[in-house]
Amino acid sequence: MVEVTVTPQSSLADRPVQIRVRGLSPSQLVTLRAWLKDEQGECFQSRAFFRADGAGEVDPGLHAALGGSYSGVWPMGLLWFLQPDTLFRRLVKRDVAGSPFRVRLEVFDGLCLGADPREQPLGCCEAERWYMGPGVQRVPIREGRVRGALFLPP
């Protein structure tokens, strides 16, 4: 059974997480895909191709991506290289206090270039990426033409 994990499963957006895949065959070629829908329902995704190590594991922090959205060793590459399905869209979090981005991570056998709905992932998991920590106070700023927000720690 293939298992995809993100540790910690829930974290602040600027904190590193560890992504791991276990239960693959040694040297198996796989595609790791991350995707999310923003608050307007726009899909953002990234993918990277990996070859499992001798124990049947993939860790983007230790193993180099062979291609896809990026190549090389990037522990957070799947999250950093998220691209919109629609051109000229930007990933922006408007409701920073109310809800996290929910990023779905999936692993597919072989090279998976498209989002074929018939293709079933070998394993998947979901990670929450929060933009405001517990107890943080958000104060709106409106002074002349300046607009912004001040975030005060607890």
Report all structural domains of the chain as residue ranges with CATH numbers, in order of start.
3-152 (2.60.40.2240)
Contact (Cβ atoms closer than 8 angstroms) between residue 112 and residue 31: yes
Span 47-96, pLDDT tens digits? 999 999 999 999 999 999 999 999 999 999 999 999 999 999 999 998 88
* 130: confidence class by pLDDT, cuts 50, 70, 90: very high
Q: What angle do CA 30, 1, 105 make, to 5 degrees?
A: 50
Buried b (16+ CB within 10 A) or exposed e, 124-133: ebebbbbbbe
Predicted confidence at residue 112, as pLDDT, reads 87
| Alpha carbons 53 and 11: distance in angstroms, whole number | 27
pLDDT at residue 132 is higher than 90: yes
Q: What distances in angstroms separate CA 90 from CA 85, 87, 136, one per listed residue?
A: 10, 9, 25
Query: Is the entire prediction scored with pTM above 0.75?
Result: yes
Query: Among the listed ranges 24-38, 61-75, 115-129, which one has the minimum average pLDDT value?
Result: 115-129
